[in-house]
Structure 1
Amino acid sequence: MKKITLLFLMLFSLSNCAKKEDSNNIEGTWKMVYAETIENDTITLKDLSNTTFIKIINKSHFAFFNQENTGTTNFYGGAGTYTLKGNTYTEILNFTAVEAIKNHPFSFTIEIKGDTLIQSGIEKVEAAGLDRHIVEKYIKLKK
């Protein structure tokens, strides 16, 4: 009886560890599969057929890169720190080619469903002429 109880406790512990590791883990490498921008009354969908957008998130920092699949034109990227409190994900863009948004906090609501990260919120920086709502969906890349 003790062996069965011990076996049950071991299996239960392993099951809980796997659940904690997989659920709501924002850390990893994410590939954008959908991006929608709403500005004024216009909805724009990002054409991802000829470009790859990757976001990498570790314990304290994030970075993103976008490049066309052929050639080296239209490459851009950025990086910085972030905080995550509940489902509020706030990026501070410390590295960017756009001075007006450098060190500006951008807060988003996130939701993680399996291997999908959904990020939405308002990007507003008056100095950059930026005022839009975004919805982005990413798939977590496997190791």
Structure 2
Amino acid sequence: MKITQLLFLGCATVFLSCSRQTEDSSTKIKGSWQLLSATTNDKGKLTVTDFTKDQRMIKIINDTHFSFLRHNLSAQAVAAERFDAGGGRYNVKGDEYTEFLDFFKDKNWEGKTFVFKVHFDGDTLIQTGVEKVPEAGVDRIITEKYLRIKGE
């Protein structure tokens, strides 16, 4: 009887450890992220911005909302370009991450929805999507690379 119980317990342990589900995007995306770079494709013109020099931007994603903060570190930056912030609701379905920008310094961007494809490479979040804001003259593809901020 004890051998049967031990065998059952051993099989159950192996089954549970093998059937453990991998973390999906909706779980992996939560946390604090530092933007490393952004590549925009604006009608075929590629622009790469390095966010590790003269500026810092972080994105914070919790269970229901995201927010971002960008601080220009350059002493030469004019006041209007020194700080940006925004945020809102989001949802994730598979590899599709959708942001609903409820708050932003530039009112042209508020109320817009942005859909991205996301994937993870270790502690790096890579998101690609279309930024379309006719009121601001923006219609481009953007790819952003974020590094998870340690200590979470």
Tell me the TM-score normalized by structure 1: 0.83
> 2:56 is aligned with what amino acid?
T
Distance 1:45 1:12 in 2: 47
User: 2:41–2:47: 8 Å Cα contact kept in structure 1?
Assistant: yes
Structure 2, unaligned stretches of length 5 or more?
none
Question: Is 1:113 matched with 2:116?
Answer: no
User: 1:26–1:57: 8 Å Cα contact kept in structure 2?
Assistant: yes
| Aligned CA distance change for structure 1 residues 122 and 33 (closer, same or farther; 3 Å) | same
- Counting matched residue pairs gives 141
Structure 1, unaligned stretches of length 5 or more?
none
Which residue is equivalent to 1:51? 55
Question: Is 1:91 matched with 2:99?
Answer: yes
User: 2:35–2:144: 8 Å Cα contact kept in structure 1?
Assistant: yes
Mapping for residues 31-70 of structure 1, pairs under 5 Å: 31-48=34-51, 49-69=53-73
Aligned identity (percent) is: 35
Structure 1 or 2, whichever has the larger Rg, is 2
Question: Is 1:124 matched with 2:129?
Answer: no
Shift of 1:141: 1.7
For residues 58-111 of structure 1, the C-alpha deviation after alignment (integer angstroms, 9 at most, x for no partner) is 111000111134669611111100111221111111110111111111111111
> 1:110 is aligned with what amino acid?
V
| Aligned CA distance change for structure 1 residues 39 and 10 (closer, same or farther; 3 Å) | same
Distance 1:100 1:85 in 2: 27
Distance 1:124 1:6 in 2: 56
3-state DSSP of counterpart to 1:66: strand
| Aligned CA distance change for structure 1 residues 127 and 70 (closer, same or farther; 3 Å) | closer
Alignment root-mean-square deviation, CA: 2.4
> 1:61 is aligned with what amino acid?
H
Which residue is equivalent to 2:9? 6
Shift of 1:50: 2.2
Greater than 2 Å deviation, 4+ residue runs: 1-17, 68-73
